[in-house]
Amino acid sequence: MPAEAFVISILDEDLNEIELVYCVDQGKRYPSQRIPRERGLSGYVIASGNSLIIYDLAKEGSPYALVHFGESACVHSILAAPMRLGDKIFGLMSAQSYQANTHSAEDSNLLEILAAYAAIALDNSRLFTQMQTSNRELGIAYEEMIEGWSRALEMRDKETKGHSDRVTRLSLRLASAMGMPEEDIVHFRRGVLLHDIGKMAIPDSILLKPSSLTEDEWIFMRQHPSYAYQMLGDIPFIRKSLDVPYCHHEKWDGSGYPRGLKGKEIPLGARIFAVVDVWDALIYDRPYRPGWLPDVVRAYIVAQSGSYFDPRVVAEFISILDTDQFT
């Protein structure tokens, strides 16, 4: 349609202002500006919710003062239409000309159609933003809940204090080095934090025993991966994180528990975490034994490559140890 100038304004209800977000005059884009909600053409149309056509501003006059931008203030012909969806008004579109009697009723109808499409797009954008915010807030709540569960277990099992934080940092480093995709690392991290959640079902008499466990007690303790699966398996957002809590005691040669998985039957996340978990468990003091020296633990992990551990994971872990010292 004929127009030397074109404006799109958006209502900002939080600040009770209108932002002229798109201002073009004779093909040149001008900076956006903010005005009070009741001011100018935008304020008039947004407040009334009605379209407007002025054939000759000099003759017809106006109940509002135009907000000027561009090279000339000599606008004569004006079209304006609210961007409306139901009772919700998002802003307006306005086409303006330096010539009088430029626009027709057909032009006004066309602008109303464009404004209606724009309102739908803006509403979709608003809903999408709200959904993203809700999902982000829900994700934060999930993470805080998982970290809370992890801390609750550490408070119960005093000998593992700080264990979850340490193994999480090193496990993520190793997973990244192993090329685990970013989307999988999110679930992997949750699994690491929850790796011993099944121990919540283990009686204190066994979990907190200050001496070595009997064989019968070990049979009970070895059920904690299965308890983890029973506790979390029906929770949708955690289901993809169960590889570590359920499988981190499986062994590469098939001699692990609870299912006796072998080789690559064991999920990669569980194979990665198994190495890190053993490293941290052996290097720190326990009530029934002192911690091992780092070089001794390193030698043990290398010796168990191909039986307890995935050889490829062990090689990458040793490479990390050669680069950084983790204690």
Q: Residue 197's closest CA among 249, 240, 269, 149? A: 149
Are the CB atoms for 133 and 115 separated by under 8 Å? no
The residue type at 123: D
Cis geometry, peptide bond prior to residue 294 (ω within 30 degrees of 0): no
Whether 199 sits among the annotated catalytic residues: the reply is: yes
Rounded to whole angstroms, how far apart are CA atoms 108 and 80? 8
Question: Which listed residue (88, 199, 209, 264) is catalytic?
Answer: 199
Strands (E) located in the chain: 5-12, 17-25, 28-30, 33-36, 52-54, 77-85, 88-97
Q: Cβ atoms within 10 A of the Cβ of 293, count?
A: 11
Long-range contact pairs involving 259-268 (C-beta distance under 8 Å, separation at least 24): 263/310, 266/310, 267/243, 268/178, 268/180, 268/243
Give the active site residues.
Answer: 199
